[in-house]
Amino acid sequence: MKKILTALLILSALLALAACQEEPQAEPTEAPAAEVESPTEAPPTEEPPPTEEPTAVPELTEEPMEEPTEAPMEEPTEEPMEETAEEPAAEMVASQSGLGDPLYPLLGNAGYDVQHYTIDLEAEPQGNTIAATTTIDAQATQALDSFNLDFAGLEISEITVDGETAEFSRDGQELTVTPATAIADGAAFTTAVTYSGVPEPIVDPGVPFTAIGWLRFLDEDIISVISEPSGAMSWFPNNNHQLDKATYTMRITVPEPYVVAANGELAETVDNGDTTTYVWEMDDLMASYLATVNIGAFERDDTIGPDGILLRNYYPAGRIDEFAPAFEPTAEMIEFFSSILGPYPYDVYGAVVLPVDGDFALETQTLSVFPQSAVDEMTIAHELMHQWLGNSLSPATWQDIWLNEGFSAYFPFLWDEHVNGPEANLLPAMGAYYEFVAGAQVPPPATVGLDNLFAEPIYVRGPLTLHALRLVVGDEVFFDIMGTYYERFAGGTASTADFIDVAAELGGEDARELLNAWLYEAEVPPFPETE
C-alpha cells in the first residue's frame, strides 16, 4: 500500500499526514454487513511529526498523502493476522507455516517453489461473492508429506493434488494440505483449491489505516485488489511472500457490463452470453501482493510507449478525456527511468483509475491502481518507478521496504529535476526533508517495525538517504550504483545489505559508512553539504 510523500514535501504535507494518522480516516460509506469492527478504525500507533515550521519551505504543488482514505465496503469478520510488531528477528527461520520474515513470520511457506498460478474466478459484484478454483503449479524443494498455503476466509469445498483429493485443515491464515501421496523432493506437483464466498479484507498491523486485499467499494460499484503486504491471501491461496514469485493466468468472469482489468496482457475476452470472461496473462514473475483484479465500469485507452511497450490505461467509463492528459508523460518517464536503471522490465504498463476518492495508490505489477484523487505527476512517477524497484527487484523482507519506497520517493524528484532543473523542487525539498528529519529525529529506515512500515522513516529519511549518498559519491558514481544494483538483482529480491555492498563496491567504504549511519543509526547524520 502506498503512501507516497511524493510531492514536494513540506510541512503542510507532513501535517496532513499527522492528521491522517490521528484520525480514523477511512469511513466506510456503507454499514458493514456483519457486526464487526471496521478495519479502518485501528488507532495509529505512531507519533505524528513535529509541528515546527521549517523556515524555508518550497511551494507545495501537491501532497499526496498516501494513506487510503477510502474504505472497502465489506468488513472482515475475522481477527487480525497473527503477526506481531515486536523486536524483529535478525535471521529468517523458514518453516512449513512461514518463511520467517522478521515482520511477518507467517507469510509464505517453505518446502516448495510456485511456478504458476491459474486463478479461475467468477465474481458477482453486487453481492461481492466469488466462486473460484486456483490451480498452483509448484516444485517441491524438500520431500513433503504435507505443505501449507496462505489463505484467509472463504469456504473451501475441495482440494486436489495431482488430480487426487487431498485432506486439508485450516488455522487462521495457514491452510495445511496433505496429499494422498507424499511428494518427493524436487517433484513438480499441481494443487487445485476450489472455494467460494465473500472475500474478507485483511486487517494487517503494518497498514493500520486501511484494510487490504479484495476490496469492494459499494457506492462506486467497484472491486479492486490492493494487497501490500499481506492481502493476497484474501482472495486466492498462495505462497504469500515475494521470495516466491511466479507467473499468473487469471480468468475472471463477471456479469455484463462489468469490465475486468488485471495484471499483464489481456489474452482473450470470452462472451458467455450473460457474462464475460477476461483472460489475463502475467508472463513475468510477480509477487502475490502485486496481483490485482479491478472490476467496474471502465473504459480502456491504449497508446504505444517507448520500445513498443503497450500502455493500456483503464479509466472510469466516459472520463478518458478527464484523466488521459495526466498520464501523457508516462512514455517519457519510462525512457527517463530506463536511462538510469535499464530497460522497463515488462511488455506492458498502464494504470487503472478508480472513481474513488482517497490518497492511496499501489504499483500493482504492470497496472498501477490510482484513486481518482491521487492522479498527479509525482504519484504517477512514483508508481511507475516501482515497476523496476519494488516489482522486478523486490525487498527480500518487509523490513527492507525502504528499498521499495525510499527509492520510489526519491526518483520522482529525479524526474522533476530532469524536467525542471534541480532548483525547482529537488533541492528545496531535500532541504525541507532534512530539516524535518533532523528536527524530529526520524528513526532509521532499515530497522522499522510494523508500526512505521509506511511512515516517515521510509518516505522521508529513505529518499534523503539516497540524496546524501549522491552528494558524497557524486552523480556519476551514484547513478552507476543505481543501475548496477538494479541490474544485479532484477527479477528477484535484494536486502539492504546487498544494496550497501553495491554502493561500497562502486563508491568505496565512505559510501558504506554513510549508508550504515543513515539506514541503521538512530541519530540523524549531518547533511553532507554541511559537514
Pick between residue 132 and residue 362 the one whose CB is nearest to Zn ion.
362
| Secondary structure in 3-state letters for 366-418 | CCEEEEHHHCCHHHHHHHHHHCCECCCEEECCHHHCHHHHHHHHHHHHHHHHH
Place of cell 458493514: 32
Q: How far is the CB of 383 from Zn ion (least distance, A)?
A: 7
Q: Radius of gyration over alpha carbons of the chain, in Å? A: 22
Pick between residue 68 and residue 105 the one whose CB is nearest to Zn ion.
68
Stretch that binds Zn ion, among 95-103, 407-415, 470-478, 521-529 (CB under 5 A): 407-415
Q: How far is the CB of 176 from Zn ion (least distance, A)?
A: 34
With binding defined as CB under 5 A, does residue 408 bind Zn ion?
Answer: yes
Decide: 326 and 192 in contact? Cβ < 8 Å. Answer: no
Which residues 184-243 are close enough to bind Zn ion by CB under 5 A? none
Q: How far is the CB of 2 from Zn ion (least distance, A)?
A: 4
Stretch that binds Zn ion, among 2-10, 154-162, 247-255, 508-516 (CB under 5 A): 2-10
Q: How far is the CB of 349 from Zn ion (least distance, A)?
A: 16
With binding defined as CB under 5 A, does residue 401 bind Zn ion?
Answer: no
Closest by CA to 407, choosing from 39, 4, 20, 122, is 4
Q: Which residue is nearest to Zn ion (CB)?
A: 2
Q: How far is the CB of 421 from Zn ion (least distance, A)?
A: 25
Pick between residue 89 and residue 490 the one whose CB is nearest to Zn ion.
490
d(CA 343, CA 381): 16
Pick between residue 63 and residue 405 the one whose CB is nearest to Zn ion.
405
With binding defined as CB under 5 A, does residue 2 bind Zn ion?
Answer: yes
List CB contacts of 516: < 8 A, sequence separation 6 or more.
500
Closest by CA to 224, choosing from 316, 94, 101, 341, is 316
Pick between residue 408 and residue 493 the one whose CB is nearest to Zn ion.
408
Stretch that binds Zn ion, among 59-67, 99-107, 391-399, 400-408 (CB under 5 A): 400-408
Q: How far is the CB of 474 from Zn ion (least distance, A)?
A: 27
Which residues 242-281 are close enough to bind Zn ion by CB under 5 A? none
Q: How far is the CB of 213 from Zn ion (least distance, A)?
A: 18
Grid coordinates of 212: 487490504
d(CA 517, CA 530): 16
Q: How far is the CB of 200 from Zn ion (least distance, A)?
A: 25
Q: How far is the CB of 394 from Zn ion (least distance, A)?
A: 12
Q: How far is the CB of 67 from Zn ion (least distance, A)?
A: 12
Decide: 241 and 225 in contact? Cβ < 8 Å. Answer: no
Pick between residue 211 and residue 374 the one whose CB is nearest to Zn ion.
374
Closest by CA to 293, choosing from 489, 43, 121, is 121
Closest by CA to 62, choosing from 4, 9, 20, 19, is 9
Classify residue 212 by its DSSP letter.
Answer: B
Pick between residue 2 and residue 245 the one whose CB is nearest to Zn ion.
2
Classify residue 497 by its DSSP letter.
Answer: H
Helices (H) and strands (E) in the chain, counts: 10, 22
Pick between residue 294 and residue 408 the one whose CB is nearest to Zn ion.
408
Q: How far is the CB of 1 from Zn ion (least distance, A)?
A: 9
Pick between residue 2 and residue 461 the one whose CB is nearest to Zn ion.
2
DSSP assignment of 427-481 equals HHHHHHHHHHHHHHTPPPGGG--GGGTTSHHHHTHHHHHHHHHHHHHHHHHHHHH
Pick between residue 237 and residue 406 the one whose CB is nearest to Zn ion.
406
Stretch that binds Zn ion, among 122-130, 227-235, 397-405, 429-437 (CB under 5 A): 397-405
# chain residues binding Zn ion, by CB under 5 A? 3
Decide: 369 and 330 in contact? Cβ < 8 Å. Answer: no
At residue 158, the 3 state secondary structure works out as strand
With binding defined as CB under 5 A, does residue 6 bind Zn ion?
Answer: no
Pick between residue 394 and residue 408 the one whose CB is nearest to Zn ion.
408
Grid coordinates of 397: 523482507
Stretch that binds Zn ion, among 38-46, 226-234, 317-325, 403-411 (CB under 5 A): 403-411
Stretch that binds Zn ion, among 74-82, 295-303, 350-358, 398-406 (CB under 5 A): 398-406
108 Rama class: left (phi>0) / alpha (psi -120 to 50) / beta? left
Pick between residue 2 and residue 241 the one whose CB is nearest to Zn ion.
2
Query: Which residues are paired to 268 by β-bridges?
Result: 279
Buried-exposed string 503-526: b where 16+ CB fall within 10 A, e elsewhere: bbebbeeebeebbbbbbeeeebbe
With binding defined as CB under 5 A, does residue 387 bind Zn ion?
Answer: no
Stretch that binds Zn ion, among 69-77, 155-163, 347-355, 401-409 (CB under 5 A): 401-409
DSSP assignment of 50-115 equals P-PPPSS-PPP------S--B--SSPP-SPPPS---SS--SS---BTTB---SS-TTSS-SSEEEE
Stretch that binds Zn ion, among 235-243, 408-416, 430-438, 458-466 (CB under 5 A): 408-416
Pick between residue 201 and residue 390 the one whose CB is nearest to Zn ion.
390
Grid coordinates of 470: 549522491
Residues near Zn ion (CB under 5 A): 2, 405, 408
